[in-house]
Structure 1
Amino acid sequence: MTRVVSLFLPSWSTDRLRRKAGDAAPPVEAPLALIGRDGRRQVVLAVDAAAQAAGARVGMPATKARVLVQGLIVQDHDAVADAEGLDRLALWILQRYAPIVSTDPADGLVIDTTGTDHLHGGEETMLRGLIDRLAVAGISARAAIADTWGAAHALARYAARPVLVAPAGHGSSVLAGLPLAALRLPLDMIAALHVLGFERIGDLLAQPRAPLTLRFGPQLGRRIDQALGTTGEPIDPIRPDDLVEARRNFAEPIGAAETIARYIGKLVVQLCAELEAKGLGAKRLDLICHRVDNRLQAVRVSTATPVRDVKRLTRLLTDKIETIEPGFGIEILSLTATLAEPLAERQTLTVMVDDSVPDVSDLVDTLINRVGERSLYRAEPVATEVPERSVRRIPPMAPEAGKGWPGYWPRPSRLLAPPEPIDTVALLPDHPPVSFTWRGIRRRVRRADGPERIRGEWWRRDAELAAVRDYFRVEDEAGERYWIFRSGDGEDPNTGSQRWFLHGVFG
């Protein structure tokens, strides 16, 4: 079933202006309004959250806004720059989230995520991750996912806080309580419907269609059908000119899996030839199937390193054929290297050469496309003595950085996150516990080694300036070994709570 995300950017114009201005941007707490001309009048065309909270509204005369909002910062609105910025954001999402992305002027994007959400941890995790990444960039956003563009558009603007995941096959149930403006109707039509007593979408759904069409024309019924999915609304995906693409049109639509696989192989050969001419390798491929019913089916595959090996790319794509629903047939196949990076020629090794480093990139590519990029990673040491900060996740095929862990004291094979509190019987300040109780089980300590004192990283925050931990390796009567610590030095309360915790288990 098709799943569509609508990304709503309620203050896109002001957010974009602040990002462009950088350090010279107005403070976030300062109300900001962008103005332009409406005939002979100067009116407000965009406001940020602070200006809106102070009473400024889009469409308000600029002079009234200046009087109403104290300290209002007024700048010119640039619609062209907004559109260009929206295109750049769509390209960024295309490269990272889904193969079918389009702008939804003037304050949003629409994304077909059918079959790709599992690569990002599921629908809700994907949406929250997208919203968080935009927030870090200074862009306010809300997002909703539904079965249709119209439903997702409505929910993102009138129900998402900040994300909303509509259940698959939701029908009209998620739309009935939304206002008429959620249907993307002209303002004069909405006003006329209000005069007749219609306030919510559910009010329209309960009425016969013919009288409404007779009075308001076909647009009202078309918007309702698009939201419900009974009428298709194709998404025209953004495709920058510099993307490497191979395309095939068919005089007769194709639908058999074997036929699709054969033409995928031909497109991969053509695409790899173009990549080779440009010295590039593909890291992400998008296969888009244009069906005769004006719907799109997309397949996305990723690789850990730049690749232009025909056999490998063909296999990754054909493994996904079962996810394609050809419907009444596919009339166009397009294959795009959405993400490509420089790839130098490699000399082919002869049988006389012993290649001591095995190439596991093919296996990594297969796993990435089955479980998702987020689920496959490698651990890399971090230059810190604080245990929970000493490891970070990196891509599985990232180059070796030559880093290592400090070798002063042994570390457990398993760390608990977060450390779990334990009850202890111990002599202070430098002795290990005689016994400790963890998860309801009392364990007597037979052997112990320590303490190893680890100090806080004072440059991170003031609370760590005096903080210390005293770690001990202990072994209980059953031979199990644990890594425990006391928060504090055992004497000064400023160094920690003096409570005991279990942080790791030795294998």
Structure 2
Amino acid sequence: MARIGNAPSDDLPVALVAEGPHGQVIHATNRAARLAGIAIGARVVDMRAVCPTLQVEYADLAGDARALGRLALWARRWCPWTVVDGADGLILDTTGSDHLLGGEAAMLVEMETRLSLLGLTARLAVAPTWGAAWALARYGPVRAICTEETRAADLHPLPVAALRLEAETVLLLGRLGLKTIGQLSEVPRLSLTRRFARSTLEANPLLRLDQAMGRLAEPVASQEARPRIIAQAKLPEPIMDPTAYLPQLGEEVCAQLEREGAGCRRLTLVVYRTDGEISRLKVATAAPSRAPAHLCRLFDDRLERLDPGFGFDLITLEAGMIEPVKTVQAQLGGGSDGGVPLSHLIDRLTARLGPRAVKTPVLKESHMPERAAQWAPAMAGAGADPLTPAQERPLRLLDPPEEIRVLYAVPEGPPAQFIWRRQTHRVVRYAGPERIAPEWWSDRPGTRLRDYFRIEDQAGCRYWLYREGLHEDGRGGDPRWFVHGCFA
């Protein structure tokens, strides 16, 4: 039946088996197998004697774990914090989310409906604590709603196994006549404390009871941080293309950013498919931004990569790497100059060409001018210092510097004139020298120091020259002169 893709009949007892210490054991069962008396954890050979018609299949434990992890992400349609609970459960922190769905009862109905559309049968419970929800979902009614006032009454009839205790502890409590949570809670704590003081959490019924009753905190710790700023669109009918909803989501996210006086440098579009799969598209910006049109435009060439399957029924837009944004008035009248900011241009080119195709210069710790800047991917260097030299230096350097012929005025001063690219330049003004010593930790032995001059010739052109070496410095012959850059 697995080969042709048909599920077994509901009347046929089916069990999934896994390897145990003494052979194959029952890992999971369907409803027909449970009604036939098949017990989880029992040996397969024993259960075949109980139910000769039992059909056995091997359990894919690794695949089930991956599927449960994907289901935990899919369940974030109801709340931002979801975690996997064991091998067969999910914990959702729906605090502050249930009212968006019409209350806790309506939320459970929607959860059961959507899970059934995925082919999953679920037992659902809402409770003030993780332990109470775990107990009611597995040992209570199909859909249970527990409050602070009714928690004790709801939990007392349940067996002690509902406290998430290991089998040995459950067996020991049964021998002591403590079969329900109510019976356990009526026993004086001192006597139980002496017996279980050195036990682990799974073997300590008092700690588990305190967790269920809310006397011991057990917060839901999601693997991912809850997004501070998020916009969500719930769709009445599945759609195949989320493009039409993206502008509205961008407006909502940017409105939240503006209220906080911040911008984002990462934006994630998450689409939830009706078959339980989710897809993510991420874009980045070179600088914090809260311009909705610009941010949404970064998704233009990526939306076609989404596989709609049978359609999307939920879309979220999450802002990440949120940083403060300073409001700058570009003109006296408060308007803008109408040009495209450099950061927006970098974002568009990066979104179209890829994160490594667009590079910008960033400063690097080095005394040598040609090493004081390097090219880095625009997104990686977005947080680096802008390329603004501490002293007056040309923004563009010649690579490599070009050697020139000079006529001295004085040996240690600037040249009176120099010949560069077959043209003679007469020096009328100068500033300097600025001496830069070699970097002994990276330069070769014998490297000569440099004296830099800012030169202006008779035509008003300004150059950045340097003399390499000094007379009789013991590191070579006469000094050599080079043009390293030109000023604008």
TM-score, normalized by length of structure 1?
0.46
Q: Which has the larger radius of gyration?
A: 2
Q: Structure with the greater relative contact order (CA < 8 A, sep ≥ 6): 1 or 2?
A: 1
